[in-house]
Chain A
Amino acid sequence: MDATRAARLRRAGAAVLVLAFAATLPAQGPAGETAPSRDFAVRCGTLLVGDGKTSIAGAWLVVRDGKVAQVGTDAPPPDLPVVDCSQKVVMPGIVAVDSDFGGAADSDYQVTPDALAVDSFDFDRKWIPALQGGVTTAYLSPGRERLVSGQGAVVKIAGRDIVERVLNENVCLRVNFGDGALRAPRVFEPVPHPTSDEPLEQARIQTPTSRIGLLAELRALFAAATDPAHKIGGEGPAENRYDEQPLADVVGGKLPLRAGAFRTQDIRRALQLQQELGVRMVLENPQEIGPVAAQAAAQKVAATFRVPIRFGQPNPGGEDRQQKTPEPRPEAPARAAAAGMLVGLSPAPGVSPRDWLVAVGFAVRHGLSVERALRSVNADAAAILGVDARVGTLAPGKDADFVVLSGEPLAIGTMVEATWIDGRRVYARTTETNALAVRVGRILDAAGHVFRNGVILVQDGRIKGVGEDLAIPYGARVVDVPGGVMTPGFLDAFSHLGLAGDGAPVPPGQPNQRLHDAVAPDDPMFGPALAEGLTTVLVSGKDQGAVNGRVAAIKTGAQDRDGMVLSPIAGLRLAHDAIGPDAIRAFADQVNRGKQYVEQWRKYEKELAEWQQGKKAPPPPPPAPTDGAPVEDPVSGTWEAEIDVQGQMQVKVALDLVLEGTKVTGTIRISFAGRDLPPQEITSGSWADGKLKLEFRGMGGSASLEATLQGDTLTGKFTMGRMGEQDVTGKRTSKAGAPAPAAAAKKSDKPTDDGKPKAPNVDENLEPMRAAIEKKAALVVRVSRGAAIAAVVELLEKEQIPYVLQGADDLVDDPSFTAGKKPPVLLGPDVLIEEKGLLRNVAAIFADRDLPILFGTGDCAGARFLAAHAANAVRYGLSPSDALLALTAWPARAFRLADRVGSLEKGKDADFVVFSGDPFEPTSRVLLVVCNGVVVKDLREEQR
């Protein structure tokens, strides 16, 4: 064939290709879609220019028409839209100096210089992992194993116009000096119609098959390509031969060489070829560069490395002691850089591009400077690929390719928040994990530590770790409050917050109040309290004489009811101030009733456990809790019953009944889902043969209740509206002056037929005492007189029931009433006693005596000023560290909540506050409040 003609034709063909390419493809962008303005300014917290050393704090990056227009601290024109990255680090888009994005497989043929890597790139894929890693530009390899694989390309990872996305489709010619070049398969090329002149041949061996022939073969290829009479190389069928022009372009200096060479001896051969041809050369992954790095640097040969650490994955190799398989050298980039070579880095094959910067960080661990490491993915990478005129650094005229990072580029937990290519945002992190990291100047953990440059890690609402300069895991939302002071969320040990109704005052306290049902998570008064750092309140109704009141622990910043209720019964408020012989008896009786009640339950639980193991026959009935008195009215009184509607809804029914002969009259009150229906008259009621029949108006028409009464228990059927017929069980809570016979009560507690022991009736009045006896709650005893204090302390210490003294006035002057014990004392809001012109601080006095003090406000809306009360105590002499404990750890411990709140330790609820300064300084502001792991108040931008 006439080679000149062929060459001309080929060029004509190529021209057709180019024209066709140009004609079809610029229209790749969606037709008819108007491109959004690519003029904007980015407000950067820190801007890294890409040269590895220049970083500008508070910089502006101005982008016009997809190109960088201005970089620096000068403010942009006011009409430009602003992208706020003021809390972030902005760096140039990562230039992947080597990648596997091309996905090119190796051909069977040794020499295919006209294969283009760009042909195998999938422009339509979204390349999410690469964009997640901040990669904006990538080198595509045409294959790595064959002697001459083809030409590499450099493309943008995302973009609309495919033509524009190709920076260079002839960036280099890839040659291989490694083992792969010696292992090319034999190729079988049968002729279509074999004859004796053109017989079927055996599979052809492709040269070279040994290292000695490799360099010679390459020399011969390049020499042949420069012969003008020789344009098509190779043997066999037309489609397996190749155009030699790229080889000629290499010799002519138009196309650089990219040489795969791992071992020192291979690198030497590559350098030899470079010297002979005098061409630009980049060594690909020369792990054993060490001995020849200086020579390579002298020849101005650059190197790209795959950082050979597959973190989080197996790293095979090294099984043979002779090391016939070459081992990667993590220190190779550092050595190459030290010798003066230009170095580009990318992760090892198999490492997700999402972790690009982390991989580069490991090169720093093995000796590379941070500056060179950063350059190796920006400026140097672009220079190695010859695309530094467009990408790699952020300077006027360059493409607006940049990455927004959550923190330092090489830190382990830094995430790419957004990736921009040509002034378009092509990736924004949306996968929000529920991990949170808050960085502050100081953390006071209320467990005895101070962490400077503290970091707290939160996951699923719990604290995952607290410490100084902790690494932040990937995926965590990072909140930076430089100079902030973090404390645990405060506890108000005595509060009414959340108990006020709509226009109604806080109700008086009762031991049987289910306070956690009464408080709503979205109580409007919670907001202001949260903004002052109050995350937990120990709420109770108003004290009313000597009536006991239940205490519940409620979170103010919860998103739902489950998160809100920290403890439904955290305490029981009692009063005891009688003195005199045996004055404690009344108090002790209450404790004893509780103990009996607890005993019933313990017995039941024991029997239940035994029954469940199938060991024991039905147990004898437990003793009746009441003393019993002989009266026979089996109906009259107040009955409380619960209906479980298919496990989805609990309906509570309260009956106030009066029995007159066989006729029953009275009212019924129904409540469900937090709603109380208005009380209804019972329209007809009867009592006969131990059966109660009631009819009344319920929801959606008439309703009825038919039940059997046995002593104080009620079992039967309840029918109302759409609920249909439901099982109902209940008990009599009051007998309206007509107590039932004890015998009947005993009978009722008999086990059911299947032998399963029956649970004792829940007595809401005694539940708080039970919780205290079981050490799940504390008794809050209002007491002031010395002898009463002494009696209470003695009794409760003996019974080992958790308790808190409130008031304890006489204790101020005479510590002997506690007999050496150190009970917690609830104080506040006023802790100052003015006596004869002398100011005494009760809080300081108790704290100095090592009594844990707890602050309470006794307020509703005023609970928000809890910290101010503590500050007041600090002003008059309370140690600030004790004041902090009095708002956090001490109340948490006293009310048995310390496993959840009160200090910042691993596993506890993530409830904390960040102040702008010392929490007790009046000038300090609350900047951030987190409750149950959720940022509920972020006040950093306000009031500035």
Chain B
Amino acid sequence: MNTRFSLVVAACLAASAAAQDLIAVKGGKVMTITGPTIDDGVVLIQNGRITKLGKSADVEIPWAAKVVDATGKVVMPTWVVAHSQGGQRGFNENMQNVPWLSVADAIDPAAVYFEDALRNGVGTIHVLPGNQTLLGGSGLVVRPAGRTVEDMAVSGNTGIKMSLFAAGGGRLQQIRKLRRALDDVREYLADFDRRKAEFEKEKAAGAIAADKTWTEEIDRTKKGACDLVQKKTKGWLFVPSVAEIDEALRLDKELDLQIVLGANIDDAVPQLAKFGKPVILDDTIEYFETDEETQKEKKVCTPKLLADAGVPFALTLGAGGPTSYPWWQLGTCVRNGVDRRMALEALTIVPARLLGMEAQIGSLAEGKLGNVQVLTGDPLQATTWVETVLLEGEVVYDRAKDPRLQYLFAEDVKKASDKKPTDKAPEKAAEKPAEKRGDAAGQGEPKAEVK
């Protein structure tokens, strides 16, 4: 086991220890995702886990509990993003066969990406290497809160990123290289096993001293790929277009694969139906394309096509622009006819399952982690704000204390900026932020633009 992952586990424990306090989110409309929605509900979190969930009449809030008042608001699990390259510096390694690399070395905890994620109610992000490296290294599940990667890490060793993106030499060379790289690892493993068996044989025959043991370990640079071909770890395979789907389905028979799709994959839907597992969508889920035969332009919404074909899917969020907002992604799905529930699940419980963490995250249920967000309204509304985010029972985001929003909404600043911006402006704004935001909410300002 890598030292890094020990650290990660330790960090997780430390995080839970910090959340010893009881915390109760009360009074809101609780959308549990997998269970029924509870109006005027209470979510009680102790030691980082949800211990009680129910109507406020039925759940007694202990006197020691810190109360987050969500009256008139919506309480729901934080979003889960199953595939992301965000928050990294240099996620596409130029060397093509680097399964020993880890995103832990590339994640920048100070990246604005994580700050935005939290502001959007994202609680869990699976960060993976980029889409352009043949065998790209392993990913890390993080929460977008913490000062170090260790603080942020939730779960390591999530699998190896692979890509069919045709870098040099086109698709056939990429496929050839991937086969060659995997065959190379298989050959290495076979050779390793043969030598180990020979050692044991010679030891049994007395040719080697009985006190000697086999000390050689699997080559560090090959370990990840070895796990991959032995199906000990998942392969997160990027499939850029419909033409590579067949190769992906072929690889799925020999590896434990998770397909990560490129944008333009509408023609691949019939084949994806044979994959039998949920697929991870690109953040571009709605686009226009021209029919080769009729030359007519048509709108394509991939979630809708997949939903119609009965293929489960997980949504992802972009690193900027409209697709970085959960409400936009879900709204796009619903606008194109995807069932609302299916859309909500595609950013909560479905990606949680893909990460093997459905017992921890992705919905609100007793025993799950206290990853809860409080929203000012319906999660599909453009005018809804994330008010509070709790990760493992700890308040990690409070809109009232969000310095960036404070700066943007400070009217003093707006007035001052007409003359001359001063350094003191954000502080001034911070003095009475609550009422200003309250005013803004009351007047229904176009907040979406600011977001």
Partner-B contacts on A (CB < 8 A): 1-2, 5-6, 9-10, 13, 16-17, 19-21, 23-25, 27-28, 30-31, 102-109, 112, 114-126, 128, 142-143, 150, 162, 190, 192, 237-243
Contact = CB atoms under 8 A, between A and B. Distances in A.
Nearest to A106: B169
A239 B178 contact: yes
A144 to B, nearest CB: 12
Contacts of A102: 172
A23 B177 contact: no
B187 A6 contact: yes
A213 B87 CA distance: 50
A453 B173 CA distance: 56
Q: Which of B135, B169, B172, B183 has the most CB of A within 10 A?
A: B172
Interface string B249-270: 1100110000000000001101
Given A108-B168, A124-B242, A126-B292, A13 B186 contact: yes
A116 B176 contact: yes
14 contacts: A5-B191, A10-B187, A20-B254, A23-B253, A24-B250, A112-B176, A115-B169, A115-B173, A115-B176, A119-B172, A124-B267, A124-B268, A125-B243, A239-B97
Given A9-B190, A20-B250, A124-B243, A237 B183 contact: no
A28 B183 contact: no
A243 B182 CA distance: 13
A238 B184 contact: yes
A523 to B, nearest CB: 37
Contact of B172 (A28, A117, A240, A242): A117
Contact of A17 (B170, B177, B254): B254
B435 interface: no
Nearest to A113: B176
B183 A112 contact: no
B180 interface: yes
B207 interface: no
A563 B115 CA distance: 70
A25 B246 contact: yes
Interface string B25-47: 00000000000000000000000
A112 B175 CA distance: 12
Contacts of B171: 103-104, 119-120
Contacts of B95: 190, 192, 237
Contact of B243 (A19, A24, A122, A142): A122
Contacts of A25: 246, 249-250
Contact of A119 (B176, B186, B242, B268): B176
Contact of B250 (A6, A21, A112, A123): A21
A20 B248 CA distance: 11
B319 interface: no
Contacts of A17: 179, 250, 254
B175 A119 contact: yes
Nearest to B268: A124
Contacts of B180: 114, 238-243
Contacts of A128: 292-293
Contacts of A20: 250, 253-254
A730 B76 CA distance: 77
Question: Interface size for chain B: under 10, 10 to 19, 20 to 34, or 35 or more residues?
Answer: 35 or more
A192 B98 contact: yes
B253 A24 contact: yes
B10 to A, nearest CB: 27
Contacts of B173: 104-105, 107, 112, 115
B97 A119 contact: no
A6 B190 CA distance: 8
B134 interface: yes
Nearest to A234: B180
A24 B251 CA distance: 10
A8 to B, nearest CB: 8
A123 B271 CA distance: 12
Contacts of B170: 103-105, 107, 120, 143
A186 to B, nearest CB: 13
A238 B254 contact: no
Given A9-B183, A9-B187, A105-B169, 16 more contacts: A5-B187, A10-B186, A13-B182, A16-B254, A17-B250, A28-B271, A105-B168, A107-B168, A114-B176, A115-B169, A115-B176, A116-B175, A119-B171, A120-B175, A237-B96, A238-B180
Interface of B: 95-98, 100, 134-135, 166, 168-173, 175-188, 190-191, 194, 221, 242-243, 245-247, 249-250, 253-254, 267-268, 270-271, 273-274, 292-293
Contacts of B182: 13
Nearest to B292: A126
Contacts of B245: 124
Nearest to B267: A124
Contacts of A125: 243, 292
B406 to A, nearest CB: 46
B187 A239 contact: no
A162 B245 CA distance: 12
Contacts of A9: 183, 186-187, 190
A292 B38 CA distance: 87
Contacts of A10: 183, 186-187
Nearest to A127: B292
A192 B253 contact: no
Contact of A2 (B186, B194, B273): B194
B191 A1 contact: yes
Given A10-B187, A13-B186, A122-B243, A150 B97 contact: no
B225 to A, nearest CB: 9
A115 to B, nearest CB: 4
Given A104-B170, A105-B170, A123-B246, A239 B177 contact: yes
Contacts of A27: 274
A315 to B, nearest CB: 27
A445 B273 CA distance: 64
A108 B176 CA distance: 13
A242 B181 CA distance: 10
Contacts of A238: 97, 180-181, 184-185
A162 B270 CA distance: 13
Contacts of B185: 238
Contact of A5 (B168, B177, B190): B190
Nearest to A107: B169
Given A108-B168, A123-B243, A30 B270 contact: yes
Contacts of B250: 17, 20-21, 24-25
A930 B17 CA distance: 92
B172 A104 contact: yes
Contact of A239 (B181, B186, B271): B181
A121 B97 CA distance: 24
B169 to A, nearest CB: 4
Contacts of A123: 243, 246
A4 to B, nearest CB: 11
A150 B190 CA distance: 27
A151 to B, nearest CB: 10
Contacts of B183: 9-10, 13, 243
B253 A16 contact: yes
Contacts of A143: 169-170, 172
B190 A240 contact: no
B194 A120 contact: no
A262 B152 CA distance: 61
B246 A239 contact: no
Given A124-B268, A128-B293, A239-B177, A1 B187 contact: yes
Pick from A16, A27, A105, A117 the residue with the most CB of B within 10 Å. A105
Return the 7 tightest CB-CB contacts between A and B, nearest first: A20-B253, A238-B184, A107-B169, A105-B170, A120-B172, A119-B172, A239-B177
Contacts of B249: 24-25
Contacts of A2: 191, 194
Most chain B CB within a 10 A radius of its CB, from A10, A106, A119, A122: A119
B270 to A, nearest CB: 6
Contacts of A16: 253-254
B97 to A, nearest CB: 5
